[in-house]
Amino acid sequence: MGQFDTNKIRNLGIVAHGGAGKTSLAEAVLFNTGMIDRLGRVDDGTSTMDFEPEEIKRKISITSALDHCEWDGHSIHIVDTPGYGNFIADTRACMRTLDGAVVILSAISGVKAQTEEIWNWANEFEIPRIAFVNKMDRERASFLRAIDDLEKSLGARGIAIQMPIGAEADFRGVIDLVSMKAYFYAADGSGTCTEGAIPADCADEASRLREHLVETVAEAYDALTEKYLETGELTEEEIRDGLRVGTMRNTFTAVLCGAATANVGVRQLLDAVCAYLPSPLDRTKAVGTHPKTGDMLERAPDEKEPFSALVFKTTSDPYTGKITIFRVYSGVLNSDSTIFNSSKGVEERIGQIYELEGKKQHAIKQAVAGDIVAVAKLKETVTGDTLCDANKPIVYEPARQLLPVISYAIEPKTKADEDKIHNALHRMIEEEPTLESHRDTQTKEFIISGMGQVHLEVIVEKLKRKFGVEVLLKTPKVPYLETIRGTAKVQGKYKKQSGGRGQYGDCWIEMAPTGRGEGYIFEDKVVGGVIPRQYIPAVDKGIHDASLEGFLAGYPVVDFKVALYDGSFHTVDSSEMAFKVAGSMAFKKAMEVCKPVLLEPVVNLKVTVPDENMGDVIGDLNSRRGKVVGVEPKANSQIIRAVVPMSEVLAYSNDLKSMTSDRGLFSTEFSHYEELPTHLSQKVIAEAHAGKKD
């Protein structure tokens, strides 16, 4: 058995949009539970959870950080998640393994787009949650406005179980509406508080909110409803029981308040986490499939069940190496043991097991169902893999990854960087599954794709810091193509005589366009042996190679067919090389008269924007030569679907951010190629020719 029974474990995510105060709250939780002896600050770069140099520099959470603490006999695994759009994909992967969440609402700015996205993920994963209205000590703070925003923007049913004593500079404590007691906090950030009577100026509002609390909680289950209808009141114990049941069922969202940086209200929040959020035992059984048969399997959160776990995060430490972080769903894992990776079909050796404490690790001997732990130096295991008992294999489905939204070309600074970049990017992708990289065979550029410009800038910084690889970020070239609209019959004749054996190849071809996407088609229509059979593939090769170099602007020529129908040869001077050159010459002559045009890539664009920004976004898409193909209403927002030329949305991430005050979200996927308008073609061709001169 582990140090704590499974029913005393809380796997808690702290989630919200960027800047709401998640890391500050996590810091206050660790301080109040005695895990740290000094209250660090994000703005000072001294917080326990934001420890990466890139986070300290930007004063934001870039990657999720884990820690644990103990409170009132409970073990709480804390996951402090990113909230900015560039890094929010990490939050989704973590939420797949959580049992409960604290959603932070800013008392100043309320709900933002990222909070809406995270709330929808919590619904998807059926995560019970409570809300914490933070920054009650700031100017323009409003507790009731935050609850109203929770209900309007998220469609939730908010229920205040606390209310603030004062606000802004006068904020000095909280009133517990369940016990109807007031807690006055010291102004020194120590988190100490004294219990007292409810201030007279708060009494009426406290009574009103308490009445609403009891009415709402009474709906949690039938017996409670009957009791309330009979007596018109509920005991404190019944209210707490109703709050727990209602929270578990997501019937309503209990709302608390405080100020994380001032360390006010955090102790009551910890009490609520232990009282109302579920343990692993309160959640449904984990469902997976058999790796070979595909049959559905279940695992209960019981130490007697076979061991199983899901890897949801991978990091690399300069001293420890690769660190694999996973949630144990069933059974027991002991240090110095062998487990089975059912996703890869390989065994892995487990050495030491760790509990994470920010950037530090604390060694433990055993992990049990419900624990979130880490191990080092697994060879084959990556994020999303399932670890289990080899005799009772199971595969869990990981969280679906978000698609990258922006791409840049990267250019190694030196030859040494070029040699190291492949291995470094492979290691980075293990940490950042939303990061993608490939070499564009057409533009010859190395492309990396991620969740936003800042995301890719951070990747570049990490490549230098962790792997000593320096690269430059550049806007990628657009992979244009060329094609033809007309037909031609031409001769390609290569004749060279300069002493000794000469070179002779002669071919007649007919070139014509094909349907979009059909590529290059070669037809052999030679009869009567005017070209020997062994030279015909050489003509094909000469045309194909020439088509890759383009004609108008150096882009590959596609969607055309060539029929080789006549020619001549010399018994001595003809060769494969001569006919390859003849084929290339014929292609170039044909392109001159076949009305060549440029093709541009077009992408499907999906944009989610607040209602008030829809007109601006659609107008902007029209100015980018986009075509809106549909608009779908969503709660307080609209989903716009459009087809847009790729060249017009290479920098769309920053533009959308400006238009929507960072509340817009978008994704793209390649759709098709279509003809580039003449005036734009001339510009691309001119730039290509200028580039060749340089």
CATH class of segment(s) 286-388 = mainly beta
The pLDDT assigned to 428 comes to 87
pLDDT at residue 584 is higher than 60: yes
Lowest mean pLDDT of 273-277, 307-311, 475-479, name the range.
475-479
**Residue 536: half-sphere exposure toward Cβ, Cα within 13 Å:** 16
Please determine, for residue 499, whether its predicted confidence score (pLDDT) is greater than 70. Answer: no
Please report the pLDDT score of residue 1 as a whole number: 40
pLDDT value for 3: 64
Report the relative pairing of strands 173-176 and 162-165 from DSSP bridges: antiparallel
Closest listed residue to residue 126, CA positions, set 319, 359, 286: 286
Rounded distance, CA 637 to CA 79, Å?
A: 29
> Would you say 626 and 643 are in contact if contact means Cβ atoms under 8 Å apart?
yes
* Dihedral Cα 29, 30, 34, 38, nearest 10 deg: -110
CATH architecture of structural domain 6-282: 3-Layer(aba) Sandwich (3.40)
pLDDT digits (tens, 9 = 90+) for 416-450: 888 888 888 888 888 888 888 888 777 778 888 88
Beta bridge partners of 253: 158
Q: Which band of pLDDT confidence, cut at 50, 70 and 90, is reported for residue 318?
A: low
Average pLDDT rounded to a whole number, residues 622-642: 89
Question: Contact at 8 Å (CB) between 387 and 308?
Answer: yes
Average pLDDT, integer, range 346-364: 90
Q: What kind of architecture, by CATH, is found in domain 599-689?
A: 2-Layer Sandwich (3.30)
Q: Say if residue 279's pLDDT is above 70.
A: yes
Question: Token pair of 400, please?
Answer: 């679906």
Residue 440: predicted pLDDT: 78
One-letter amino acid at 449 equals S
Report the run of H or E that residue 511 belongs to, with start and end.
Answer: strand 503-513
Q: If pLDDT is split at 50, 70 and 90, which confidence band does 693 have?
A: low
Angle (CA) 483-484-486 rounded to 5° is 170
Give percent above pLDDT 90 in the chain: 62
pLDDT digits (tens, 9 = 90+) for 409-418: 888 888 888 8
pLDDT(313) > 80:
yes
- How would DSSP label each residue in 5-72? -GGGEEEEEEE-STTSSHHHHHHHHHHHTTS-SS---TTTT--SS--SHHHHHHTS--S-EEEEEEET
CA dist 653 and 662 (Å) reads 9
Least confident of 306-310, 611-615, 618-622, 658-662: 658-662
406-474: CATH topology is Alpha-Beta Plaits (3.30.70)
- 72 backbone φψ class: left, alpha, beta (φ>0; ψ -120 to 50): left
Task: Let me know: does 389 contact 337? Beta carbons within 8 Å.
Answer: no
Domain ranges across the chain: 6-282, 286-388, 406-474, 482-594, 599-689
The predicted-structure confidence for 38-82, as pLDDT tens digits, reads as follows 887 887 778 888 788 788 888 888 889 999 999 999 999 999 999
Residues 6+ apart with CB under 8 A from 678: none
Distances (CA, A) of 577 to 103, 123, 367, 526, 618: 70, 66, 69, 19, 55
| Range scoring the smallest mean pLDDT among 55-59, 251-255, 350-354 | 55-59
The DSSP code sequence of 122-157 is HHHTT--EEEEEE-TTSTT--HHHHHHHHHHHH---
- Bridge pairing between strands 520-524 and 9-15: unpaired
Q: Do domains 482-594 and 599-689 have the same CATH topology?
A: no
What is the distance between the alpha carbons of residues 280 and 76, in angstroms, rounded to a whole number?
12
Report the percent of the chain where pLDDT is more than 70. Answer: 98
pLDDT reported for residue 76:
94
For residue 55, give the nearest of 473, 454, 468, 474 by alpha carbon. 454
pLDDT in tens, 369-406: 999 999 999 999 999 999 999 999 999 999 888 878 77
Angle at 73 between CA 300 and CA 217, to 5 degrees: 75
CA separation for the pair 660, 612 (Å, rounded): 9
CATH architecture of 482-594: 2-Layer Sandwich (3.30)
What's the rounded mean pLDDT across residues 235-254? 94
Phi, psi for 541 (deg, rounded to 5): -65, -40
Q: pLDDT tens digits for 8-41?
A: 999 999 999 888 889 999 999 999 999 988 887 8
- Considering only residues 360 and 254, tell me which one the structure prediction assigns the higher pLDDT: 254
**Can you give the pLDDT at residue 635?**
65
Q: How confident is the model at residue 537 (pLDDT cuts 50, 70, 90)?
A: very high
